[in-house]
C-alpha cells in the first residue's frame, strides 16, 4: 500500500513487524529448553553439532601443526594422545550423529506431511541426554583426575582397545568420562532412532505409501533401524567396561582369562555399521538435492531403496575388516574380505543412479549442487580405497597407517561433510527463511575443495611410505616431512573455508535475501510450508498421490501419478 494513505491502526500494527514486544532472554531460553517441537529440537541438534565441529576441527588443526615438521614439540605427547582421542570421539558421536539426527528430526515429519514426531517428549529427552553426554566428555578436561589438580581428557583412542582402558593403564577418571559420555549419547541415539522409525511408519499423511516416500525418509528409516542393532552392542560393551573398571569384573582383563580381542569385536560390531549410519543420511541428502538441481526425477527409485536396505543388512557383516591384522584365520578373513567387497555393489548402484539422474538433466550449479557433485567424485575415490583395504594382504601392509586415515577421512570429510554442507545450502532457506549467500557459498566450496584435496589426497602417500597413525612425531630422515607439510597446509584452507561458511550463516541469517516457501522449485512436501514452517507445520494435513507432490501441484496437466 502507498505510504501516504492513512491506514487503520490495527492494520498498521499488523503490517509492522517491529511493534511486537521484544521477548526477554529468559523467555526465549525457556522456550528452547522446554520445547518438544521437532523443528526446534532439530535446530538444537544441528547447532550443538556445529559447535562441536568447530571444537574438534581445532583439535585437528593442533594435531596437524604438531605433525607438520619432524621432531616438533608444539604439544606434549600426552596432549597429542588426548587430541586424537577427543577429535575422533567428538566427530563421530557429537558432530556426525547429532547433525544427521538434527536434519532427520527437522525434515522427516515435514517430508511425510506430519505435524510432529511420533513421540515429541522422547525426542526432547533424547536430545538433552546426548547434549549432556557431549558436555560430560569435555568436562573431563577439568574433572577427570578427580577435582584436585588438573583434569585430563581421555587418551585411549576413539576405539579404546583393551587393555589400555584397564584401571592399571588408565588411572584417574578420564576413561570413565569417555565411557559415560558415549553411553549417554548412545541412549539418546537409540531414542531418536526409535522416534524416526515410529514417525516414518505411523505418521505418514494420507496417500504417502512407503513406495511414495521421499528417498530421504527411506534412508533415515534404514539408518535408524541400523542404530538399534549397531549402537546397542556399543552400549553393552560400555556397560561391561564400566563393570570392569568399577566392580572388578574381568570381561576385558587378560590376566584373569578375559579377552582384549572380544572388545575389538564388540567395538567394531558397532563401529562399522556406524560408518553406514553416518553415510546413509549423506546419501539421503544427495537423493533430494541432485534431482532438484538436475531438474529431473531421481533415476531408479526402487533400485535406490533396495540398495539402501541392502547396505543396511550387509553393513552388519563386515566389522572384522578392521581386525585383519589381529589374525582371525583364513576362513574368517575370507568371509570379511568378500562381505566388504560385496557392500561396494549396492553403493555402486547408488553412484550410477545419481550419475543417471544428472545425465541429460538441466543442471543448476548452485553452491549446494557443487558440494553434491564434489561428494560424488570424492565418495567414489573413498570407496575405491575402501575396496583396496578390504583385501586382507593389502590391509596387512597398510593397516594402522596414514593410508587408512586418509581413506576414512575421504569418506567422512569428502563424503559426509561435503554432503552436510550441501544440505545446509539447500535447507537453510527453509529453516531460517533466508537464503545463504551463493557467492560466499561458491568461495567456500572452492577453498574447502582445495584444502580437502591438499590434505587427504596427499595423506595417502606417507601411509604407503610407512607412517603409522597416532604417532606423536617422527624423525627427519624418514622422508615424510614434505607430505606432512602439504597435508597441514591443506588443513589451513579447510579451516578458512569453514570460517567463511560460519560467517555466511550468521550474515545470511540477518541480512540474506528472503527465501519464500519454495526457492528451489522443489517437489517434496517441506517446500509447501512457509519458511520457516509454523509450529504445526501444515495448516491442513496434505494428501499425496505420487513421489513428487509439489510437481503434481505445479503441473496438474501432467502429474507424476500417471507414471508411477
Query: Is the CB of 183 or the CB of 279 nearer to another protein?
Result: 183
Q: Decide whether 248 or 360 has the Cβ nearer to another protein.
A: 248
Could you identify the residue written with the cell 514486544?
21
Minimum distance from residue 517 beta carbon to another protein (Å)? 6
**Total residues found in the chain within this entry:** 564
Distance, in Å, from the CA atom of 453 to the CA atom of 444, rounded to the nearest integer, reads: 14
Nearer to another protein, 185 or 195 (CB): 195
Q: Which is closer to another protein, CB of 359 or CB of 536?
A: 536
Residues 6+ away with beta carbon under 8 Å from 398? 389, 404, 463, 464
CB of 186 to another protein, least distance (A): 10
Contact 549, 542 (CB under 8 A): yes
Spell out the SS3 assignment of 243-267.
HHHHCCCCCCCHHHCCCHHHHHHHH
Distance CA 90, CA 59 (A): 10
Shortest reach from residue 33's CB to another protein, in Å: 24
Which residues in this chain contact another protein in the complex, by CB under 8 A? Answer: 113, 118-119, 122, 190, 193-195, 197-199, 201-204, 206-207, 225, 227-233, 235-237, 239-240, 243, 247-251, 256-259, 262, 266, 269, 517, 525, 528-530, 538-540, 542-545, 549-550, 552-553, 559, 561
Q: Which is nearer to another protein, 122 or 380 (CB)?
A: 122
Question: Which residue's entry shows cell 546397542?
Answer: 232
> How many Cα atoms occupy the beta-carbon half-sphere of 410 within 13 Å?
24
Q: Name the minimum Å distance from CB 77 to another protein.
A: 34
Peptide bond just before 163 cis, omega within 30 deg: yes
Q: Which is nearer to another protein, 250 or 296 (CB)?
A: 250
Q: How many CA atoms lie within 13 A of 419 on its CB side?
A: 28
Helix (H, G, I), strand (E, B) or coil at 434: strand
- Tell me the CB-side half-sphere exposure of residue 547, using CA atoms within 13 A: 21
Distance of CA 380 to the CA centre of its chain: 18
Q: Nearer Cβ to another protein, position 14 or 476?
A: 14
Cell of 399: 593397516
The residue among 83 and 205 lying less far from another protein, judged by its C-beta, is 205
Outline where 315-435 has alpha helix (H): 330-358, 367-390, 392-398, 402-409, 418-432
Give the position of cell 558415549.
Answer: 182
Nearest residue (CB) to another protein, 59 versus 238: 238
DSSP letter assigned to residue 140: H
Q: Are 247 and 337 in contact (CB under 8 A)?
A: no
| SS3 per residue for 376-409 | HHHHHHHHHHHHHHHCHHHHHHHCCEHHHHHHHH
Contact 34, 128 (CB under 8 A): no
As measured in angstroms, the least distance from the Cβ of 309 to another protein is: 15
What radius of gyration do the chain's Cα atoms show? 24
| Minimum CB–partner distance for residue 121 and another protein (Å) | 12
Least Å distance, CB 364 to another protein, is: 22
Q: How far is the CB of 383 from another protein (least distance, A)?
A: 27
The distance of Cα 326 from the centroid of its chain, to the nearest Å, equals 29
- For the bound state, the minimum distance from the C-beta of residue 543 to another protein, rounded and expressed in Å, comes to 6
* Alpha-carbon gap, residue 475 to 563, rounded angstroms: 65
CA distances from 29 to 23, 26, 34, 94, 443 (A): 10, 5, 8, 22, 34
Comparison of 261 and 341: residue with beta carbon closer to another protein: 261
Please report how close the Cβ of residue 280 comes to another protein at its closest, in angstroms: 17
Give me the least distance between CB of 300 and another protein, in Å please. Answer: 24
281 or 414: whose CB is closer to another protein? 281
Q: Which is nearer to another protein, 262 or 485 (CB)?
A: 262
User: Minimum CB separation from another protein for residue 28, in Å?
Assistant: 25
Amino acid at each position: 500500500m502507498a505510504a501516504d494513505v492513512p491506514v487503520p491502526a490495527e492494520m498498521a500494527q499488523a503490517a509492522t513487524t517491529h511493534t511486537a514486544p521484544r521477548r526477554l532472554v529468559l523467555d526465549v531460553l525457556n522456550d528452547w529448553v522446554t520445547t518438544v517441537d521437532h523443528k526446534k529440537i532439530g535446530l538444537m541438534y544441528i547447532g550443538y553439532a556445529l559447535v562441536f565441529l568447530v571444537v574438534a576441527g581445532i583439535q585437528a588443526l593442533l594435531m596437524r601443526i604438531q605433525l607438520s615438521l619432524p621432531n616438533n614439540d608444539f604439544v606434549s605427547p600426552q596432549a597429542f594422545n588426548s587430541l586424537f582421542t577427543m577429535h575422533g570421539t567428538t566427530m563421530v558421536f557429537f558432530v556426525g550423529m547429532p547433525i544427521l539426527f538434527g536434519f532427520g528430526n527437522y525434515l522427516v515429519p515435514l517430508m511425510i506431511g506430519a505435524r510432529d514426531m511420533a513421540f515429541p517428549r522422547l525426542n526432547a529427552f533424547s536430545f538433552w541426554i546426548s547434549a549432556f553426554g557431549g558436555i560430560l566428555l569435555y568436562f573431563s578436561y577439568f574433572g577427570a583426575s578427580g577435582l584436585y589438580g588438573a583434569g585430563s581428557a581421555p587418551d585411549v583412542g576413539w576405539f579404546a582397545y583393551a587393555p589400555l582402558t584397564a584401571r592399571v593403564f588408565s588411572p584417574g577418571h578420564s576413561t570413565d568420562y569417555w565411557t559415560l559420555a558415549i553411553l549417554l549419547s548412545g541412549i539418546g541415539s537409540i531414542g531418536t532412532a526409535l522416534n524416526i522409525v515410529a514417525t516414518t511408519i505411523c505418521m505418514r499423511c494420507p496417500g504417502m505409501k512407503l513406495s511414495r516416500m521421499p528417498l530421504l525418509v527411506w534412508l533415515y528409516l534404514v539408518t535408524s533401524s541400523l542404530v538399534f542393532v549397531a549402537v546397542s552392542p556399543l552400549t553393552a560393551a560400555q556397560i561391561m567396561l564400566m563393570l570392569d573398571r568399577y566392580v572388578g569384573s574381568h570381561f576385558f582383563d587378560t590376566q584373569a582369562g578375559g579377552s582384549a580381542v572380544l572388545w575389538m569385536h564388540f567395538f567394531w560390531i558397532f563401529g562399522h555399521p556406524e560408518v553406514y549410519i553416518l553415510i546413509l543420511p549423506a546419501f539421503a541428502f544427495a537423493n533430494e538435492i541432485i534431482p532438484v538441481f538436475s531438474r529431473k526425477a531421481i533415476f531408479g527409485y526402487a533400485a535406490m531403496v533396495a540398495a539402501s536396505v541392502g547396505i543396511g543388512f550387509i553393513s552388519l557383516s563386515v566389522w572384522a575388516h578392521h581386525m585383519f591384522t589381529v589374525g582371525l584365520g583364513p576362513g574368517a578373513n575370507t568371509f570379511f574380505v568378500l562381505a566388504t567387497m560385496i557392500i561396494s555393489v549396492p553403493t555402486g548402484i547408488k553412484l550410477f543412479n545419481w550419475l543417471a539422474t544428472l545425465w541429460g538433466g538441466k543442471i543448476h550449479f548452485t553452491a549446494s549442487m557443487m558440494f553434491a557433485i564434489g561428494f560424488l567424485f570424492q565418495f567414489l575415490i573413498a570407496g575405491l580405497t575402501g575396496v583396496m583395504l578390504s583385501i586382507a594382504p593389502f590391509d596387512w601392509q597398510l593397516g594402522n597407517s596414514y593410508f587408512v586415515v586418509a581413506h576414512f577421512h575421504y569418506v567422512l570429510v569428502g563424503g559426509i561433510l561435503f554432503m552436510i554442507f550441501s544440505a545446509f545450502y539447500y535447507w537453510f532457506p527453509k529453516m531460517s527463511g533466508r537464503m545463504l549467500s551463493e557467492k560466499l557459498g561458491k568461495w567456500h566450496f572452492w577453498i574447502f575443495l582445495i584444502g580437502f584435496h591438499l590434505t587427504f589426497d596427499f595423506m595417502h602417500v606417507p601411509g604407503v611410505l610407512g607412517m603409522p597413525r597416532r604417532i606423536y612425531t617422527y624423525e627427519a630422515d624418514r622422508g615424510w616431512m614434505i607430505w606432512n607439510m602439504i597435508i597441514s597446509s591443506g588443513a589451513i584452507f579447510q579451516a578458512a573455508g569453514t570460517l567463511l561458511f560460519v560467517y555466511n550463516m550468521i550474515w545470511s541469517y540477518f541480512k540474506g535475501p528472503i527465501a519464500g516457501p519454495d526457492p528451489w522449485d522443489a517437489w517434496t512436501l517441506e517446500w509447501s510450508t512457509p519458511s520457516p514452517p509454523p509450529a504445526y507445520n501444515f495448516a491442513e494435513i496434505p494428501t499425496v498421490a505420487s513421489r513428487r507432490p509439489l510437481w503434481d501441484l505445479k503441473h496438474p496437466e501432467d502429474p507424476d501419478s500417471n507414471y508411477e
